[in-house]
Copies of this chain bind each other. A is one copy, B any other.
Amino acid sequence: MVGADKAIEAVAECAAVGIPVAIVGASGFAEAGAAELQTKLLEVAGDTRILGPNCIGTVNLGTGLVASFSPFFNGEHTELKKGGIALISQSGALGFGAVSLALERGLGLGWAVTTGNEADVTALEVLTELAGEPDCTGLLGYVESLTDGVALRKLAARGKPTALLVAGRSTAGRRAAVSHTGTLAGDVRVTKAALRQLGIVEVSDVDELLDVGEAFAMAGRRSRKAGMEAAQGVGTGPDTARGLGKRVAVVTTSGGSGILAADAIEDWGLLLATLSPRTDRELRVVVPPYGSTQNPVDVTATVMRDRTLVVRCLHAVAADDGVDAILLCFCVLTGEDVDGIIAALTEVAVTKPVFVARTGAEHLAPGTTEALRALGIPSYPTPARAVRALSALVAGLGAGSEDYPGQSGQLAPKITVSDEGALKGMLAEAGITVPYGHFLDSPADFDFPGRAVFKAVVPGLVHKTEAGGVLLGVTRDMAEEAWAKIAALGGRVWAEEHIEGGVELLVGIAPSPLGRVLTISAGGILAEVLDDVAIRLLPTDPAGMLEELKINILLNGYRGKPPLDVAAFLKVVRTFTALAERWPADAVVELNPVLVREHGAVVLDAAYVEENRR
């Protein structure tokens, strides 16, 4: 609680007497351009860990420890409600703003920590530590820099439902992030891909973060009730080896809410459950003719005349083995109608996770949110928000399912590949098919039975095509003229057989703040035109990446053509990424295009760029 000028001395005093952690709230360090002051702070800290500087401290709601100067605690009516959710924020003001909104809506928290400039302790480290707390059911984070791939994998490996709001997605946002906490944001697309790969939920706003937190809180409660470990999840389904399945049954008293729920279920990658014939029969007895027994099950406003309708519908769908979770939607129901629903849910919610979308003012049925919460049922003002939170729970309970293969071994001695021929030779040696080719010191050496491709190999010339350094379809007759044209560019002439037919893909490796990434996209000229890219942190297996690409439909027998040899392509990718482990960490290597054919896959062009040019 001293300014930047006095903080160095204060931390040195802490270190001297063996204080394990010092919280530095002061601003005026890296975020103000004073990086050297921040370095100094770390130097004097010695074994004392530093939270901050430029943070607003930390609160443990379980023990009641408040080590923060947030004005939140000035609030006359501020009440701390204990719960199982940890909320970690790099931003102090926004973090405690989110804490206040969480408590206002009744979402109990266990821990709130702000990390500020993260000179030492990072949000990822705090999240990972808290994930190990038995009482912690889920983790929420606001981060401005996400640049440590190893830490991110460690967090994911904990298998605790985790959601992150990553700020600084835009150019201006990134600039502001640097100015705010002096840290650098990562590449947006890599960040998104890495989070998805690791089962960490990405959210786009504070509201959404807290909505997801409500679902995580319920997951923990339900798990304990069922005598299971929190991390093991709340049910099983067809699409996840563990955790919660994706098949949702919607029961609604409002047709409109049902449609919005169905739309959201598609948007968020969940499945509208197909109800069994038995369930359908049971529903037909209950649901009025102007309603619907198909999912979404619409019991209509008739519920106001017969309260048992909802109850019987809920029991029917809960007993259906094809249903993993239930979303109940209602709108402006009041008093006793709502009481009846809550009574019904008391039984149903034990067997299947239930989420509620109640699109109506709180005063119409006061206390409903709290009553539902007591049953382990999160409720939301709209169907879309409920579905989004449910989808996060499904994803979050699947976190940590990707095996963490550890760091790849020590990098082998740096290799240097000076030209396309040498790189293709290396690929061929590893078993990857490349066109037959060689340097052509004279046009007389032309020895291709059909057409050939001539390429200029000039040190530093990366964009050959633009420079006129690639000639396709060269026949023996054209060889002399073509050779002269390419040779005139000042380097050597590489010649290889001209292979056509198939679909062109790009395969690349490149460094990123989160570690080396593998990219697969449409190849050739389309690579840079289309935003059709699959990205994964390495190590990983490329199976499944093609399904993320629009161009994938061309690989599987498009317009009457035979399916292409995807297995051969994946083998190329696996061999390539294995090779890459021996290359320098900052290597950017692109195979573009890789021609996927009916039989086999051929690397037509390969470029090695040591310096990261992204």
**Which residues of A are in contact with B by a Cβ distance under 8 Å?**
27-29, 31-33, 54, 56, 70-72, 74-78, 89-98, 100-101, 103-104, 142, 144, 165, 167-173, 175-177, 179-181, 204-207, 253-260, 262-263, 265-267, 272, 288-290, 292, 294-296, 298, 300-301, 304, 330-335, 337, 359-364, 381-382, 384-385, 463, 465-467, 525, 529-532, 550-551, 553-554, 558-560
Contact = CB atoms under 8 A, between A and B. Distances in A.
A506 B172 CA distance: 36
* Number of copies of this chain that the complex holds: 2
A451 to B, nearest CB: 13
A272 B28 CA distance: 26
A97 B359 contact: yes
Contacts of A304: 71
B256 A94 contact: yes
29 contacts: A27-B288, A27-B290, A27-B301, A28-B289, A29-B290, A71-B304, A71-B334, A72-B360, A78-B364, A89-B256, A91-B254, A92-B256, A92-B301, A93-B257, A93-B301, A93-B330, A96-B332, A100-B364, A101-B381, A104-B361, A167-B259, A169-B263, A169-B266, A172-B266, A180-B255, A180-B259, A206-B359, A466-B560, A525-B558
A117 to B, nearest CB: 10
Contacts of A205: 260, 382, 384-385
A77 B361 CA distance: 10
A359 B104 CA distance: 12
Contacts of A206: 260, 359, 381-382, 384
Contact of A76 (B337, B360, B363): B363
Contacts of A559: 463, 465-466, 525
Could you say which of A89, A93, A204, A360 has the most chain B C-beta atoms within 10 Å of its C-beta? A93
Nearest to A297: B176
Given A172-B262, A298-B176, A75 B363 contact: yes
Contacts of A27: 288, 290, 300-301
Contacts of A172: 262, 265-266, 272, 295-296
Among A142, A175, A254, A364, max chain B CB count under 10 A is at A364
A334 to B, nearest CB: 5
A7 B262 CA distance: 32
Given A27-B300, A93-B332, A176-B262, 17 more contacts: A31-B255, A71-B332, A71-B364, A72-B360, A91-B257, A94-B255, A94-B359, A96-B331, A96-B332, A168-B259, A169-B263, A170-B262, A180-B292, A463-B560, A529-B550, A529-B553, A530-B551
Nearest to A90: B256
Contacts of A332: 70-72, 75, 93, 96-97, 100
B294 A179 contact: yes
B91 A255 contact: yes
A381 to B, nearest CB: 6
Nearest to A166: B263
Nearest to A143: B256
A288 B75 CA distance: 26
Contacts of A70: 332
Nearest to A553: B529
A332 to B, nearest CB: 4
Contact of A179 (B292, B360, B466): B292
B292 A176 contact: yes
B333 A71 contact: yes
Given A100-B332, A334-B75, A364-B100, A257 B179 contact: no
Among A72, A176, A362: residue with most chain B CB under 10 A: A176
A337 B71 contact: yes
Nearest to A335: B74
A360 B101 contact: yes
A171 B98 contact: no
A331 B94 contact: yes
Contacts of A97: 254, 257, 331-332, 359-360
